[in-house]
Amino acid sequence: MPKTVSKSAFARRPLAHLREVEQTGEPLILTDRGRAVLRVVPQATAHDVLATLHGCVVRYDDPTEPVAIEAWGAGA
């Protein structure tokens, strides 16, 4: 369960809250009158982004050959 903090409590110590998110990697939910209004999450690294693509290439026949428009499924 992500940590929650009211907007007014966040405003008193914003850098401390942001550092906590950075160090723990856990998201922080800001609330306004008990209602969640904003989610603060750490920035994904390039490695994290590329890891999501791992295994998504189905076929890799000849990467240096041109690809026809029809092969993209974007034919006119």
pLDDT tens-digit series, residues 12-25: 999 999 999 999 99
And the tokens for 39?
Answer: 């989610």
Which pLDDT score is estimated for 40? Answer: 97
Question: What span, in angstroms and rounded, lies between the C-alpha atoms of 36 and 44?
Answer: 22
Summarize the confidence of residues 37-64 as an average pLDDT: 84
pLDDT recorded at residue 3? 95
Architecture of domain 3-59: 3-Layer(aba) Sandwich (3.40)
H or E element, residue 15: helix 14-24
**In this model, does residue 44 exceed pLDDT 60?**
yes
Q: In this structure, what token pair is assigned to residue 45?
A: 């690294």
Mean pLDDT of 22-43: 96
23-62 burial: b if 16+ Cβ within 10 Å, else e: eeeeebebbeeeeeeeebeeeeeeeeeeeeeeeeeeeeee
pLDDT (mean) for 31-50: 91
Average pLDDT over residues 42-56: 84
